[in-house]
Amino acid sequence: MADFGERRNLLGDEDEDEDSFADRQAARGPGRLMAAICDPSRLLHRVVVLFFMCFLGFGSYFCYDNPAALQSQVIQDLNLNTETFMQLYAWYSWPNVVLCFFGGFLLDRVFGIRMGTIIFSLFVCVGQVIFAAGALVNRFWLMEAGRFVFGIGGESLAVAQNTYAVNWFKGKELNLVFGLQLSMARLGSTVNMNIMGWVYNQVALAVGSSGHTALGGSLMIAAATCVFSLICALVLAFLDKRAEKILNKEQGKTGEVIKLTDVKDFPSTLWLIFIICVGYYVAIFPFIGLGQIFFIEKFNFSPTQARAVNSIVYIISAPASPVLGFLVDKTGRNVVWVMIAVIATLAAHIMLAFTFWNPWIAMSLLGVSYSLLACALWPMVAFVVPEHQLGTAYGFMQSIQNLGLAVISITAGAILDSRGYLVLEVFFCACICIALMSVVMLYFVDYIKGGDLNRSAAARAKLLKESTTDAEVRRKPSQVVQSERARLAPMSAFGLRNRYLSRLGAQLPYHCSTHLSSLAHRSVLK
Amino acid sequence: MAAAAKGRGVGVRVFLVVFVFISCQSLIDGRNTYKRKLTVQLIHNPTSPPFGSDLLHVRAEGVNDTLHYLFYNQGAPTLLLVHTDSSSSTVKVNWTQFLDRNTSGGLTVEPQSSILYSSAVVFSRLWEYDDVNDTAEASDDFFPPYELQDFSWANVSLSGLTALVCGTAPNTMNGSLCLKLSAFDSEGRDESWPRLLHSANSSQLEVWLNGLLPRGNHSRFMLELQAVSGAYPLSRVDVRQSIDDEYTPSIFKIFQWVSSMNGSSDVLGFVQWKPVAYRKSHPVLEDATPCRHSDPRPQRGEETAASSVLIRAFYSDPEIMGLNVSFGLAGEPFYNSTMFLSWTMLVGVGSPPVDSFSPLVLTIMVVCLGTPLILLLLGGVFVFLYKKRKASTLGYEPVN
């Protein structure tokens, strides 16, 4: 059932389109028709733009997991221990502790979406080149600096990518677009895991011996993907500017409003969601970072097999995320899904730690539960926080997620150096158990408070129907004023929510994304 | 009400944790506190002590049995282990026969009838090969081996229950091969990697190569071991896989070269090691290098007896099995990266010790898995009580 407000927006857009169509006719003059591929309002052109949009993030995801794909080579060629190796991941996360709050602001107010995308792509490219140069001259501090610069660009580039998507595609297409962007991102990670080893061997053959020169050479080759992403950013900027001129629409905005003072208003359920987020993700990403040698040593895998099984998490999450997102939407009951995902991840880690069962089973389970958690956890933030605080809530969640990742990456490396893999796995199990405790408490706190989070989709839709019939009656007279205010107000809830969901791979079917406006009229629900 | 419920919950949780911890401690510590009385002595030839030759004798006396460890620092380094069922057995040396390398019987354990089991491990040769293609396949590019019987060995230096002896290769200035024997009176675990678990029935031998100049640019080393065991030779190498690598990070296997009676799985004696060697004397995880071994094969008894003084003196017709331990795999750094290689093994009677989890790991697992369950239980109880109270306050009572 479509939300009244969003129906209104679409109608507004259609009106806009009709106006601009008339303008376009006038501007073009008589008889000048563009080919479908050059016409920004036609689907074929937008498919071309979609192609560039998807590859915008490819380089960043490809290069993020370069250290994991080349773990033994990095450690051996540069004489590191595991703790120092994990610094490469920590330095990626440190700038994002702060930058999560400012990404939207920079893109909207300071640079604009086009310039901002190019600048962040440039950061990604330059960061990877510095990282590779550090390996070539055998200076580890330079590699850490390169990862830091890379981190500045990486996360903010994802924000820019989503803003482009929301700007160019509307309605039902948006789900497909986000799905494709996510798949491209996962494709980048998977390709990295599986071919970097081969690239290193070829470079070592060409250089003559393996060592930091071969490592630097392979990383420079990986930087080529970042250059490709930079070219996509430039092309996108050109196409967007051209479309702006032709269609007379304004530059896209993230619409994000961050107010740090809102933190004191966060409800306790939100803090529990934060703890779940941190406790869960610190047991996934550092584990994948250290996974290759674990599979080689414990399960006697060959390096190629170990890299393949390490990348299965990403391979599974590409198709699983849209499917699971659809499932979570259809059934609701987010807290139960989160609990299932956390328990499944705990089972996977226990299997890897305490048994010799084929790790493909455990890693596939990990991939599915990781996708499930993303689809169920992130939308919950939108259920507990009012619209105007959503930007701050998401920014805060990502900030502490990055902080947790930075700290736990180093801790995991230190534990491995001194105590080995079993204790490391037990540590990850402990982190997941913290998340599990938070989920259990979330379930009970939510139950006591009335059960907003764990409602089934049918119950939510019913509540919404009741709220909108009342709202419709109340809203009609003030429609004119409201539409003006809508233009000045931040971007619609729909776009804002979809931005964050897409980053984590959750999909929200169009007709079910209506609960936010019901939250704006909380008094009707209670 | 909520605070009281939570307080009760915390109290229950703490009690459970403490209870589990204590029971685990008693489970782990109380298993084998069998202790032996150790005496270490260096036996010299009383008539004319030849300088530089020490016969080390470690006597580990139990309640009704004795373990004798014997080590002689001339000839190929050999550790001889004799298990007798009397707590007053002694070692007798006939020096003229002992020093004559062609006759046996110079070394006996009295009373002879009390000998339950004996075994010996001989380090016979150190092989070196030039691994040009970095495959770690020792094929035919071997340099002439270092015969350890030709090394010039220093005196045995004792410190507490450990004995150290070093030797230098003939015609070389620096570079040495050292052996450290540690005897134990009770169960325990070594402090330095690979942190093998030992019992009172075993002793640990650490071998390391320090500073020996390699003869090739891509040299890797291989150690040849020979072993003889009383009635039943050490015929097979068992592998035990474990999920626990907390004492030797990233090593999940342990190998045991065992001697057992035909057809039975009872182990009479063993040589145990982990497939890891270290490239530094105080290693970190990255200094570990894996090692492989070949299958045990019968050797010529006469050759071994000729190289090892103790074998010749104690055994009359030994049945020798030998295997090679090669250090390094393809892709691992070569010996010349650190000029150091160390490897540790455990020699003993009876069944080899079995590793188990440390209390830390068990505690963490119990706490981590138990707390959510307890929370779930308590939360369920709490919610049930809350609902009942809410229902009782909100419901209207009937008027009549």
Q: What is the DSSP-derived secondary structure letter of residue B287? A: G
CA distances in angstroms from A360 to A285, A286, A401, listed in the order given: 17, 18, 27
Q: Do B243 and A422 touch (CB under 8 A)?
A: yes
Contacts 24+ apart (CB under 8 A), B164-173: B165/B54, B165/B71, B165/B73, B165/B77, B167/B73, B167/B77, B169/B212, B172/B212, B172/B213
CA pair distance B374, B48, nearest whole angstrom = 76
Per-residue model confidence (pLDDT) at position A491: 64
What's the average model confidence in pLDDT over A134-143?
93
CA pair distance A85, A89, nearest whole angstrom = 8
* Bigger pLDDT: B20 vs A444: A444
Q: Do A416 and B372 touch (CB under 8 A)?
A: no
List of residues 6+ apart from B36 with CB closer than 8 A: B60, B61, B62, B67, B185, B186, B200
Whether the per-residue pLDDT at A323 is higher than 70: the answer is yes
Query: Taking CA atoms, what residue in A is nearest to B251?
Result: A297
Q: Which residues of A touch B371 (CB under 8 A)?
A: 433, 437
Q: Do A79 and B249 touch (CB under 8 A)?
A: no
CA pair distance A68, A190, nearest whole angstrom = 11
A-B CB pairs within 8 A amount to 79
Whether the per-residue pLDDT at A48 is higher than 60: the answer is yes
> At A221, is the pLDDT very low, low, confident or very high (cuts 50, 70, 90)?
very high
- Say yes or no: A81 contacts chain B, CB-CB below 8 A: yes
Residues comprising chain A, all counted: 526
User: Is the distance from CB of A10 to CB of A170 less than 8 angstroms?
Assistant: yes
Q: Which residues of B touch A353 (CB under 8 A)?
A: 243
Exposure pattern of A339-364 as b/e (b: 16+ CB <10 Å)? bbbbebbbebbbbbbbeeeebeebbb
What's the average model confidence in pLDDT over B124-135?
87
Whether the per-residue pLDDT at A523 is higher than 60: the answer is no
Which residue of A297, A351, A357 is the best one to mutate when testing the B interface, meaning the one whose CB has the most B CBs within 10 A?
A297
CA pair distance B373, B210, nearest whole angstrom = 54
Alpha carbon A93 to its chain's center = 14
Residues comprising chain B, all counted: 400
Q: Do A433 and B382 touch (CB under 8 A)?
A: no
Percent pLDDT > 70 in chain A is 83
Contacts 24+ apart (CB under 8 A), A386-390: A386/A519, A386/A520, A386/A522, A387/A493, A387/A496, A387/A516, A387/A519, A387/A520, A388/A257, A388/A490, A389/A259, A389/A262, A389/A265, A389/A266, A390/A493, A390/A496, A390/A497
Strands B267-273 and B157-159: unpaired
Whether the per-residue pLDDT at B392 is higher than 50: the answer is yes
Helix %, strand %, coil % of chain A (to 5)? 85, 0, 15
Q: Which of B80, B345, B28, B27 is nearest to B198 (CA)?
A: B345
Closest partner residue to B250 (CB to CB) among A420, A436, A437 is A420
What's the average model confidence in pLDDT over A417-427?
91
What sign results for the dihedral spanned by CA atoms A205, A211, A215, A216? negative
Q: Do B285 and A426 touch (CB under 8 A)?
A: no
Full-model pTM: 0.79
Token pair recorded at residue A40: 């920004």
Whether the per-residue pLDDT at B249 is higher than 60: the answer is yes
What's the average model confidence in pLDDT over B17-27?
51
Least confident of A14-28, A403-417, B49-63, B285-299: A14-28
List of residues 6+ apart from A270 with CB closer than 8 A: A381, A384, A385, A393
Q: How far is A422 from chain B (nearest CA, A)?
A: 6
| Range among A320-334, A495-509, B70-84 rated most confident | B70-84
Q: B278 φ, ψ to 5°?
A: -115, 145
Per-residue model confidence (pLDDT) at position A330: 82
Q: Do B249 and A419 touch (CB under 8 A)?
A: yes
CA distances in angstroms from B328 to A51, A65, A302, listed in the order given: 48, 29, 16
Region class of B331: left (phi > 0), else alpha (psi between -120 and 50), else beta: left
Exposure pattern of A11-50 as b/e (b: 16+ CB <10 Å)? eeeeeeeeebeeebeeeeeeeeeeeeeebbeeeebbeebb
Per-residue model confidence (pLDDT) at position B277: 94
Whether the per-residue pLDDT at A480 is higher than 50: the answer is no
- The ipTM is 0.81
Whether the per-residue pLDDT at A339 is higher than 70: the answer is yes
CA pair distance B65, B118, nearest whole angstrom = 13
CA pair distance A229, A60, nearest whole angstrom = 8
Q: Do B252 and A418 touch (CB under 8 A)?
A: no
Whether the per-residue pLDDT at B25 is higher than 60: the answer is no
Least confident of A362-371, A466-475, B252-261: A466-475
Among chain B, residues having any CB pair with chain A shorter than 8 Å are 241, 243-252, 284-286, 333, 360-361, 364-365, 368-369, 371-372, 375-376, 379, 382-383, 386
Put simply, the chain A residues between 492 and 521 with a CB less than 8 A from any chain B CB are none
Closest partner residue to A437 (CB to CB) among B250, B361, B375 is B375
Whether the per-residue pLDDT at B1 is higher than 60: the answer is no
Whether the per-residue pLDDT at A11 is higher than 50: the answer is no
Read off the pLDDT of residues B199-233 as tens digits, 9 standing for 90 and up. 999 999 999 999 888 888 888 999 999 998 877 88
Per-residue model confidence (pLDDT) at position A407: 94
Query: Taking CA atoms, what residue in B is nearest to A427?
Result: B364
